Amino acid sequence: VSSAWHRGSLGEPRDLFALPSARRPPPPPRWPVECEVIKETIEHIEWVPPEPEPFCQPMGHEWPPATLSEEQGTVIYHLSPGSGEQAAPTGAPAVSPSPHRHPSLLPPAVPPGSCFTRARVGGAPGPISSPAAPLEGPHDTTLLFESRFESGNLQKAVKVGPYEYVLTLRPDLYTAKHTQWFYFRVQNTRRDPLYRFTIANLAKPKSLYGEGMRPLLYSQRDAQSCGIGWRRVGTDVRYYRGGGAEPAAFRLSWTVRFPHDGDTCFFAHSYPYTYSDLQRYLRALAGDPVCSQYCAVRALCRSLAGNTVYLLTITSPVGAAAKRVVVLSARAHPGESGGSWAMRGFLDFLLSAHPDAQLLRRLFVFKVVPMLNPDGVVVGNSRCSLAGQDPNRAYGTVLQGSFPGVWHLRAMVERVLAEREVVLYCDFHGHSRKNNVFMYGCDGGGAGTGLRLHQRIFPLMLSKNAPDKFSFPSCKFKVQKSKAGTGRVVMWRMGVSNSYTMEVAFGGSTLGRRNSHFTVEDLKSLGYHLCDTLLDFCDPHPAKFQQCLSEVDALLRQRLGREMGSGWSDVSPSDLES
């Protein structure tokens, strides 16, 4: 897809790499050579539950009753235990089995301080190992675990009771921390027993699991026979501090009954959205002759592993010279998959035939990077890229080779700003400790009264357009030193005054009459609401903008006890935030 308005002048990268085509399948993802990958393709159907899925009753932060320790159990699944590998490389030296370790599970130790070296399609070469203990016969009710697939994350499973398992997540590759995202498969299920699962090495002291959030379950049999997809499950859900002094010492525990005997099921922290999911979506766009008229898919760059970081340019080919630019990105943090679903909803709407979508394409040029950190998504990381660091703290870096996605995104925005105004930058993220949807903006203080309040207008408008999801009181605008390297702050300092991080809760909404989990449809609707809000925000008739400006002014005066008529230039960002 190419035409004159797509090239050159809007900071379009010239290197094309392997781009989506309707005529050929997308290139398979590239993995670090340490990672073993099963050959099966994992795909899930989309489904929206017919009724809201309410939060469960919070169970407090105490240990669940009669939980056995890991040491008292039998290891029944174990990938490489080190920080630098996901799976045991074939032919590695064996570890002597402990009395409780199944003799077939012999993972190697990984040298400390390992780092990414190279990648290939399919990950580790050679035959794949067997990290799961074999069943002893039809009577054996032991679950069979697996996570060596795209975005999968489970390092170890220990059976501590007939139907009770203690699980360990793999830290982000080449780090020893960032355990939050989980996504794994279980087979050999039984329908009647009550199972208990405990993830024993979560990193964060506080989680929405302590507020009533429940994990997600996917039953392959239900998907095939009933068209039912991911659903919230779990009773007696607890989030609590574990024993021991190690830093990642928080535990998530839940009980569940499986819907069928002999089923293949998956558990996940949030609705998975993989790199291959994105590629399938882009392939469908490439095969749509209508979308191809106003959507160009290019390669922004290659990731460290050699996966393409895609850039979409969306606009109507009419009147490009006068258009302002909107820049959107998602999945800097790979474990925040809700950002991809919100981005999917945004693209679905913007590329549709809806009159508002047509108007948006006439008014703006959209630069969209739907997956900034494909390597992290592929390997099942929570926060980091294969550099072993958080890419959303690296926007100020000069290290193009370590953080290619964010480096090239910033460079592209710099080129665009040299020619035209960027009216909005928004980076989609997920939040693990607060419900609802909210934004972080930038108030550096010192600006005139109008400008300081202007940065609060877009989030307020969004809260009016999505009142059952978006919480304006949860928004924050202070620029903290620790956030200096984030996309939002760096773009703001470059001159994008409306620069935001949109945080989408892993849980759901507590607003209006809702007290329930977000569905995939809820997440996708955020993309539509963002489009709607952009039209309100840029409406040439200033009534809505002025109304929101007055509301923000009144809200802040009420909160801080300031009189009408006094300005805001003398108030610090901290005071405005409080």
Task: Give yes or no: 150 in active site.
Answer: no
Say which residues have a Cβ less than 8 Å from residue 331's Cβ, sequence separation at least 6. 337, 339, 340, 343, 370, 371, 372, 373, 374, 376, 377, 428
Tell me the residue type at 35: C
With CA atoms as reference, report the closest residue to 87 among 180, 173, 189. Answer: 173
Query: Over 350-361, what HEC string results?
Result: HCCCCHHHHHHH
The DSSP secondary-structure symbol of 153 reads B
Residue 430: enclosing H or E segment and its boundaries?
A: strand 422-431
The values of phi and psi at residue 492, to 5°, are: -65, -45
Q: What is the Cα–Cα distance from 506 to 515, expressed in whole angstroms?
A: 14
User: Which member of 62, 503, 521, 551 is catalytic?
Assistant: 503
User: Residues 167-196, buried b or exposed e (16+ Cβ, 10 A)?
Assistant: bbbbbbbbbbbbbbbbbbbbebbbeeeebb
| Predicted local distance difference test score (pLDDT) of residue 82 | 36
> Can you give the pLDDT at residue 88?
34
Asked if residue 136 lies in contact with residue 148, where contact means CB atoms within 8 angstroms, the answer is no
Write out residues in the chain with pLDDT < 70, as ranges: 1-18, 65-68, 80-113, 244-248, 320, 445-450, 563-570, 577-578
Per-residue tokens: 481 = 């030193």
Domains of the chain: 28-58+68-79+119-269 (2.60.40.3120), 275-577 (3.40.630.10)
Report yes or no: 454 and 392 within 8 Å, Cβ to Cβ. no
CA dihedral 120, 124, 126, 131 (to 10 degrees): -150
- Per residue in 500-515, pLDDT tens? 999 999 999 999 889 9
